[in-house]
Amino acid sequence: MLVETFDPFHNLLVSSLVAAIPILLFLLCLTVFKMKGIYAALLNLAVTFLIAVFLFNLPIGESIASVIQGTIQGVWPIGYIIIMAVWLYKISVVSGKFDVLRASISGISQDQRIQLLLIGFCFNAFLEGAAGFGVPIAICAVLLVALGFNPLQAAMLCLIANAASGAFGAVGIPVAILDTLNLAGHVTSMNVSMMTALTLPLINFTIPFLLIFIMNGFKGIKEVLPAILVVATTYTVTQVVITLFLGPELANIIPALLSMGALALFLRTWKPKHIFLLHNQETEIVHHTAGDVIKAWSPFYLLSLFVLAWSLPAFKQLFMQGGALAFTKLQFGIPGSTLSSSIDFVSATGTAILLACLVTILTTKSISMAASVELLGKTVSEFWISIVMICAVLGIAKLMTYAGLTNALGESVAKTGTLFPLLSPVLGWIGVFMTGSVVNSNTLFASIQATAASIVGTNSTLLVTANTAGGVMAKLISPQSIAIATAAVSATGKESELTKMTIRYSVGLLAFVCIWTFILSLFL
């Protein structure tokens, strides 16, 4: 906070109501006025700037610097990661590797419950970790439809499955972004990553059971129970280990890969007694050699290896002050203010993904460097609006933090006292419903959660984690997710129908997160 007081009206209720204007306006823009996200974000940035300068008395130099700082961090490292991750995926598709990869998954079993576990859950989680931003829902829904699933059912199942992986999308950005927010209580992305081990495993372990129940009831669960247990246990346990010791970056990628591998190996010695087919018709499977399958997966295990190396403490130490590669980190003050920013040219996770892209290009005969660069240009042109929106939302978050708006809201919501942890996940749920992104939700509300926690005497890390977990449950019904899902399965115009199919699961999972967060708050 860079102002003398977070209560410029000398009335906390009035100050907090004014501080809530950016959030309420964002909600109105996206729901009542049905504005596009980018326009809503830019309008709210302008409004927040005026409120910070003229009502909360943040000096104009500091206000401009706040927006600049948010913009820099939106482009680097966040935008950098997004572009690199999607570029790697596009290289895989254009080179033909993705078709082989897809066939290698769908050819493991003809039982469509098993296919749902492999594609709807495991591969969905893998793509969420590798690319995020709607890619897993779109791709996995299309794959399920190609295997005989009803289009809307496929979309619904993929949306629900995403509840197990949405917290760590696009190489962990929703959690990693917390390090850019300077949260109260010194909450870091690693703190939150470790705290998720107390909340998300219960949901992750349950989701595979829920998917099979929706598809084939208790009978289906009974018939493929061993397969469900292999997937649920492998994914959940692996993710706990990674979030505790490595951080958020690989918390989807490695568990998803291991889950697919574990299930594929298990199916060599076990088969369900009855092959379940939705329409009593087997789909044609294209078989590939083991060598072709290994090559097809190469972009993604390269991604895993490079990101893993970048996540190791010994590697990170090289870029700390006094480290051998500290000179690669550009730190600079923002003119006209007390604020500063930095750009990590080598240690950024995006650089690890860039190396995976370059190695894939150089070792793949079916795609040239020129074609790959053209794909990079297309990726930038497709995602620049999303990145601008992220920059705008980060600018809003910085203004709200430095001008004291976050403190005012935190003081106000803290009036709910010990009941606040029960409602905490709802803020995250609202944020994702508004923006369609756990990244944006954490950017908007993590500061409020941390500030309120310090006021009511609750663990700040727990409430920031609750914001993340609650937000993930809104991805099931956020307008952005619904639009992507319906478009992918050629069901545009049936958004309301799909929303009705998923809303009960979104609300039910949110209720669990609320109750569990409240219980944890009593002990942490």
**In residues, how long is the chain?**
524
What pLDDT, on a 0 to 100 scale, did the predictor assign at position 434? 65
Question: pLDDT tens, 123-176?
Answer: 899 888 876 767 788 778 877 887 778 989 999 999 999 999 999 987 788 998
The DSSP secondary structure of 475-506, one letter per residue, reads TTT-HHHHHHHHHHTT-TT-HHHHHHHHHHHH
Assess whether pLDDT exceeds 70 at residue 198.
yes
Mean pLDDT of the chain: 87
Assess whether pLDDT exceeds 90 at residue 479.
no
Assess whether pLDDT exceeds 80 at residue 475.
yes
What pLDDT, on a 0 to 100 scale, did the predictor assign at position 508? 96
In the chain, how many domains are there?
1
Round the CA-based radius of gyration of the chain to a whole number and report it.
Answer: 23
Distance CA 297, CA 290 (A): 11
Question: pLDDT tens, 354-391?
Answer: 999 999 999 998 999 999 999 999 988 887 887 888 78
Distance CA 105, CA 121 (A): 12
Give yes or no for a contact between 357 and 88, defined as CB atoms under 8 angstroms apart: yes
Average pLDDT over residues 307-311: 77
What pLDDT, on a 0 to 100 scale, did the predictor assign at position 203? 94
Does residue 339 fall inside a structural domain?
A: no
Assess whether pLDDT exceeds 80 at residue 492.
no
Confidence of residue 423 (pLDDT cuts 50, 70, 90): confident
Confidence of residue 217 (pLDDT cuts 50, 70, 90): very high
Does residue 19 fall inside a structural domain?
A: yes
Average pLDDT over residues 25-36: 78
pLDDT above 90 covers a percentage of the chain that reads 41
Give yes or no for a contact between 277 and 148, defined as CB atoms under 8 angstroms apart: yes
Distance CA 417, CA 430 (A): 21
Q: Please give the residue range of the domain that contains residue 94.
A: 12-277+289-332+344-521
Confidence of residue 410 (pLDDT cuts 50, 70, 90): confident
Does residue 34 fall inside a structural domain?
A: yes
Does residue 177 fall inside a structural domain?
A: yes
What pLDDT, on a 0 to 100 scale, did the predictor assign at position 77? 77
Distance, first Cα to last Cα, the chain? 27
Does residue 37 fall inside a structural domain?
A: yes
Least confident of 99-113, 117-131, 197-211, 392-406: 99-113
Assess whether pLDDT exceeds 70 at residue 281.
no
Assess whether pLDDT exceeds 80 at residue 1.
no
Question: pLDDT tens, 311-343?
Answer: 777 888 888 888 888 888 888 999 989 999 888
Assess whether pLDDT exceeds 90 at residue 196.
yes
What pLDDT, on a 0 to 100 scale, did the predictor assign at position 212? 96
What pLDDT, on a 0 to 100 scale, did the predictor assign at position 308? 75
Distance CA 50, CA 199 (A): 39
Average pLDDT over residues 416-429: 87
What pLDDT, on a 0 to 100 scale, did the predictor assign at position 282? 61
* pTM of the predicted protein model: 0.74
Does residue 5 fall inside a structural domain?
A: no
Assess whether pLDDT exceeds 90 at residue 280.
no
Assess whether pLDDT exceeds 80 at residue 20.
yes
Distance CA 188, CA 249 (A): 14
Assess whether pLDDT exceeds 90 at residue 2.
no
What pLDDT, on a 0 to 100 scale, did the predictor assign at position 314? 85
Does residue 7 fall inside a structural domain?
A: no
Please, which residues bridge with residue 342 across strands? Answer: 331
Distance CA 37, CA 40 (A): 5
Does residue 251 fall inside a structural domain?
A: yes
Exposed/middle/buried for 199, CB within 10 Å: 0-12, 13-18, 19+? buried
Question: pLDDT tens, 232-250?
Answer: 999 999 999 999 998 898 8
